[in-house]
Amino acid sequence: MATSNCWKCKAEIDEHARAMGRCGSCGAPVSRVPRANETSAGGHGEVSRTAPTLALEDAGSDTVHDRTGASVHDLIEAMRASGEQTRGEQKTRMDAGRDGNPLITSVVGPQAGATQRKEGVATVVGGLRRYKGGGFVTADGVDVEEGTGGIELPYTKDDVRMRIGAYDILRELGRGGMGVVFLAYSLKLCRQVAVKMMTSGRFASEAEIVRFQNEAMLAARLEHPHIVPVYDSGEHDGNLYFVMGFVEGTGFGVIIDAQATAKKAGERAEFHLERGLKILAKSARALDFAHRRGIVHRDVKPDNIIVDAHDEPHVTDFGIAKNVQREISITKPGAIVGTPTYMAPEQANNIADRIGPAADVYSLGATLYHLATGRAPFEGPTALAILIAVLQKLPDPPKGVAKKTLGRDLPEDLETIILKAMEKRASDRYESARAFAEDLESYLADKPVSARPVGAGERLKKLLRRNRAAFAMAMVAVVTLVFMAVGFGTVLAFNLSRTSDTLWAQDEQSGRDQAATLERAIVANMVEGRADIVRSLVDKLRKDPKVTKIEVVRTDKTLAYIDDATRAAIGQRLIDPEVRRLISAKNPGFDKQIAMLESVAFANIDASVAVDAPTFQYDDAKWRELLKQREAVAEVVDIDGVPHLTVLKPIPNGPTCQFCHGPVVESAADANPYANMYGPKNPDPENRTRAVLVVHRSQADVKAKIADNTRDTLLIGGGTTLGFLAVLFLAIKLFGVRLRPQRYG
């Protein structure tokens, strides 16, 4: 077999490369030797491979950025005017899927002119095309060396990179995940077209073939001025291709980017916003046209909306579209298709049975969000991160984002339209793409829009619904914590209360013990005749701030050991001979203590400074009851903002004390002049109580101990609770406790 050169890299094509169908140097497709069960596809519309409708995991996309505007009817009329005639009966071939629906339709018609060969040179009688600079080719793409007349082509033969059927390939327009798009010229219709060809050739999987055919089939069914049309399809050297309109323009993303550029240049960016809104409204109506024919695009985004020179949009790339009416899908369970940034939640959640026209409405809303704010609604370092954000988060408020990125005060109506279209639940969005378009048109015309802002109550419901799993987990944790808090708290409260009561009781008992000890010390010194020592001790205890405050109060509520009233009364009693005789009769040995009292104690007391005794502030009724009961009383009083335990301990007028303080009056017959030695208002006329010892004990230390105990107990209880919750969380993680996820759609 003769060798030839690769059309792309000009390397020599040997028999092995021709058998493989690819250039050995650059991998470009080349003419391949047909296999025994395969038909070489060089002619128009011959499809040598058919494939059933299968699933597809590859969600890549290709974009065509150009198109002319003539209709097929206009082209046929032009062909007739140029002398071409269609003769004979056209034959139609269809590749059928498993369900019997046609996937690819191509027409094979009679040649425009009869081709003859003379001495190895092809000549054509009619229907020729003439290149600029010389050279002829038939309408079916057969090169001829001799000919006359013909329609002149707007390019030279050297401009042709390769020929696919009846299409001259002029240049590459772009590449995608599974195909390459060329600018081509139709030799039959004499117009520019775009040819999309699979690059994987005979190595393509069945799923890739189905997706490629699906795009051609679905787009061919949609004859709409804002949807890129498909004219033809076929196979060339083992590579499937289809022919579509050539849209000369740019992607919608250029309009979005133009706003930021205008802002930097100090120009009016609102022009681009209004322009973009009009384009999106027309695109939405085009998608509604597809939806009403049972086709969902599933990959609406700025790159798939091509804007021509007249600002007319053209929706393209139906490669992952879904035929809702016939349930033709090119994805299998588990495969997620689309562009995450503009993908609807039900699409990101891979709920195939819920992906319908509302998914395209969401994508339109996401595209509008990008246009209005200058930023995509969701961004992230990876596609997975974006998908998670689409499922779990609400987009940032458009008004705030627009102000930050573009310095634009976004109108409330436009923000409402965006948020309405981007609702997480499909049922909460616009009922159709047409309704979305009508609201955009109403906004542009300064008319009321149908969408309304979401209230606070609805936002809360959506928050709970959107975070159902987290909310359920939180509820489980809260309920568990409440039960633990109630049970554990009851135990803690009981323990704390018991501990506090114990500390208070211990402090009270300590106060009573201290008062009893001081009472014994006072009585012991008084019995020994050393009243001066008692007076000095009490005086020191009053002045020492480190020692608990102590008072000795006479029964008439005046403080003792300050003035000389007691010394005078006792001195007056002891000079009575009858008293002396009584003391000698009852206790002969007590004369020694009396002598010590008169010679030493009285001298020391007389040498001290005496002042008027203040009155002890205490309720009269409670004081009389205290003297009557003659039992110690403990109570808490506030002194300078600090709680103090006050113990009032009556000192009884015992037998020995009665020598100096007078006898106890048992009855009226026993009355004696010394019974009321402290005055006629003495509340103890029976003379049973010598004085009352008052001890004040600060309870600041007790309160501190109780606070420390409470804190420690709560820390232990809180730590135990947190430990239990941690164990619960680990159990959920380790043993796979699952919560039902939110199903959007």
**CA–CA separation, 15 and 2 (whole Å):** 8
> Locate tokens 């795009």: which residue?
215
**CA–CA separation, 236 and 576 (whole Å):** 149
Token reading at 344: 């609807």
Give the H or E element holding residue 570.
helix 565-574
Token reading at 513: 């013990």
**CA–CA separation, 735 and 742 (whole Å):** 21
**Residue 315 contacts residue 228 (beta carbons within 8 Å):** yes
3-state secondary structure of 679: coil
Query: Distance from first CA to last CA of the chain, Å, rounded?
Result: 60
Per 3-state DSSP, the chain is made up of helix, strand and coil in percentages (nearest 5) of: 45, 20, 40
- Whose CA is closest to 141, among 150, 128, 132? 128
Task: Kindly write down the DSSP assignment for every residue of 454-515, as one continuous string.
Answer: PPHHHHHHHHHHHTHHHHHHHHHHHHHHHHHHHHHHHHHHHHHHHHHHHHHHHHHHHHHHHH
**CA–CA separation, 412 and 389 (whole Å):** 24
Is residue 575 packed enough to be buried (19+ CB in 10 Å), middle (13-18) or exposed (0-12)?
A: exposed
How many CA within 13 A on the CB side of residue 426? 24
The DSSP call for residue 667 is S
Q: What angle do CA 551, 554, 559 make, to 5 degrees?
A: 45
- How many other CB atoms sit within 10 Å of the CB of residue 231? 20
Q: Judge whether 299 counts as a catalytic residue.
A: yes
Q: What angle do CA 417, 228, 353 make, to 5 degrees?
A: 60
**Residue 124 contacts residue 147 (beta carbons within 8 Å):** yes
Give the H or E element holding residue 76.
helix 72-81
CA 243, 246, 247, 250 torsion-angle sign? positive
Q: What angle do CA 48, 54, 59 make, to 5 degrees?
A: 105
Phi, psi (5° rounding) for residue 639? Answer: -125, 115
**Residue 106 contacts residue 45 (beta carbons within 8 Å):** yes
CA 47, 52, 53, 57 torsion-angle sign? negative
Catalytic option among 95, 140, 288, 299: 299
**CA–CA separation, 323 and 343 (whole Å):** 18
**Residue 710 contacts residue 489 (beta carbons within 8 Å):** no
Alpha carbon 608 to its chain's center: 82
**CA–CA separation, 317 and 301 (whole Å):** 10
Positions annotated as catalytic residues are 299
